[in-house]
Amino acid sequence: MEVVETLFRALFESAADAILVVNETGSIVLANASCAAMLGRTPDELVGVSVESLLPARFREHARQRASYARDPRSRPMGAGLTLFVRHADGSEVPVDISLSPLPVAGQRLVSCSLRDLRGRADGPDSLRVQASALRSAANGVVITDATGTITWVNPAATTITGYASDELVGKHTRMLKSGAHDPEFYAVLWRTVLRGETWSGTMVNRRKDGSLYHEEQTIAPVVDDAGVVSNFIAIKRDVSHERRTQDALARAHEDLAARVTEIESLNRKLRDLAIRDPLTGLHNRRYLDDALDHAVARGARSREPLSVVALDLDRFKDVNDNHGHAAGDRVLRHAAEVLRAHVRASDIVGRVGGEEFIVALPGATLTMALGRADQWRTAFAGGSVQGDSGVEVRCTVSIGVAEHCRVNETITETLRRADFALYEAKRGGRNRVVAAAPSPAEPDGR
């Protein structure tokens, strides 16, 4: 074990890069021998020193960035970021590249920082020519400005996007491209961001030379000089107008489709209503009523609850049509439907089955209960009136027959027939009456 420790110590001390091990508070806990040449301080002098004290004053955000890294530590290799600077003991600055490696040791969250001295690195003419050629041929627009926003260089892609020639752009402020689509606060936020030395990314609407508007994705990165002062801005631009138009067209197509679906659903509801409802009164029609009565009988058989049916017919309705017009007759029918709707429960089934004939099914209602409900309808209908075509008041009465379904050996059709017979008895008895149907032949055997 001692041999291994000695070997690791030798590797640590002989590393060409300066290595600092820093704890969570930013204090140096270990430094290797290469730190002396880079920083002008021996490893012993560095232990216990804050890592921020080794940086030029302009890097005042380093403590915040280090705290952010400590919350989510991960390995970062050399060449993954911008060139940084450390301060030598004699006050000079040393350009460095760094790598970071989390070191969880004995419950501590340490970080190993390797610093590579970049002094003497040469960016020769060939390298600069390659970089310039790459910028000129880039598909995205590249615009370089000074610290005030005045354009100093553009690549051909930027001239294609804006419609301006390079000599029309260089020397002008970027505000020449403003479209007026953004409020002053939009630009204020942008400038506050880049002047802090931070990169801004977003989409803005600008205006071409021909006056047309275009959507542009931009990333604006500040360039900081050796003194930590923003000297230039580099903007990478991409015209996304076609994409925005496609997105807008797609959004409109979705809206149109949603509207059509809503319209189709509405038409389907209307078609369903037309299939099961009487168009004049809005009540259920005979087709729906037949199915609903079959279901009501089945439910009553399972729950052993009573079921009564009521047959209603308007008295002397032909006279209303003959004397006051068919429009008045229609108003009388609608009035009858309104009376029924106003005095039924949610479980009751109301339908118009003929010209002036209505059927109401009352699940859970005995004959006595149904007779009471029927008399309420008769009274309410007789107390109301409608206007005839000539403006005179038209009144009408209703005759009603009531029958209770016998669950033993009686179909619902036979129950309806008994209610109809009771209705005719009410007519023969003078109209405007409620009559109970005669018992079913099956009743002596029990309901």
For residues 343 and 370, what is the distance between their CA atoms, to the nearest angstrom? 12
Task: Check residue 128 and give its pLDDT.
Answer: 47
Alpha carbon of 187 to those of 138, 183, 192, 240: distances in Å?
Answer: 26, 7, 9, 20
- Any idea what DSSP says for residue 163? -
Identify whether the C-beta of residue 234 lies closer than 8 Å to the C-beta of residue 220: yes
Copy the structure tokens of residue 332.
């009388």
For residues 78 and 87, what is the distance between their CA atoms, to the nearest angstrom? 19
Residue 322 CB-half CA count within 13 A:
4
For residues 156 and 210, what is the distance between their CA atoms, to the nearest angstrom? 17
First to last CA, the chain: 98
For residues 98 and 85, what is the distance between their CA atoms, to the nearest angstrom? 10
Task: Check residue 400 and give its pLDDT.
Answer: 96
For residues 349 and 345, what is the distance between their CA atoms, to the nearest angstrom? 9
Task: Check residue 442 and give its pLDDT.
Answer: 62
Q: Which amino acid is at 183?
A: D
Query: At what angle are helices 412-428 and 286-303 packed, to 10 degrees?
Result: 110
Task: Check residue 127 and give its pLDDT.
Answer: 47
Q: What is the CA radius of gyration of the chain?
A: 46
- Any idea what DSSP says for residue 412? H
What is the pLDDT tens value at each position of the chain, 447 positions in all?
A: 566 677 677 778 778 889 999 998 889 999 999 999 999 999 999 999 999 999 988 777 788 888 888 888 888 787 655 567 899 999 888 888 888 889 888 778 899 999 998 876 655 445 445 555 656 667 788 899 998 999 988 999 899 999 999 889 988 999 999 999 999 999 999 999 998 888 999 999 999 999 999 999 999 988 876 567 888 899 999 998 888 888 888 888 888 888 888 877 777 776 676 678 888 999 999 889 989 999 999 998 898 899 999 999 999 999 888 888 889 899 999 999 999 998 888 899 999 998 899 999 999 999 999 999 999 999 999 888 888 777 788 899 999 999 999 988 889 999 999 999 999 999 999 999 999 998 877 665 444
Copy the structure tokens of residue 411.
């179909």
Phi, psi of 193 (to 5 degrees): -65, -50
For residues 118 and 16, what is the distance between their CA atoms, to the nearest angstrom? 12
Task: Check residue 245 and give its pLDDT.
Answer: 84
For residues 54 and 66, what is the distance between their CA atoms, to the nearest angstrom? 14
- Any idea what DSSP says for residue 17? S
Nearest to 86 by CA among 135, 19, 132: 19
Nearest to 140 by CA among 238, 235, 242: 238
Residue 264 CB-half CA count within 13 A:
6
Residue 74 in 3-state DSSP?
coil
Task: Report the DSSP pairing between strands 434-436 and 398-404.
Answer: parallel
For residues 19 and 12, what is the distance between their CA atoms, to the nearest angstrom? 8
Task: Check residue 259 and give its pLDDT.
Answer: 82
Task: Check residue 422 and give its pLDDT.
Answer: 96
Residue 350 in 3-state DSSP?
strand
Nearest to 148 by CA among 115, 105, 194: 194
For residues 277 and 271, what is the distance between their CA atoms, to the nearest angstrom? 10
Nearest to 307 by CA among 374, 360, 378, 376: 360
**What does pTM read for this prediction?**
0.45
Identify whether the C-beta of residue 97 lies closer than 8 Å to the C-beta of residue 118: yes
**Helix, strand, coil % over all residues of the chain, rounded to 5:** 45, 25, 30
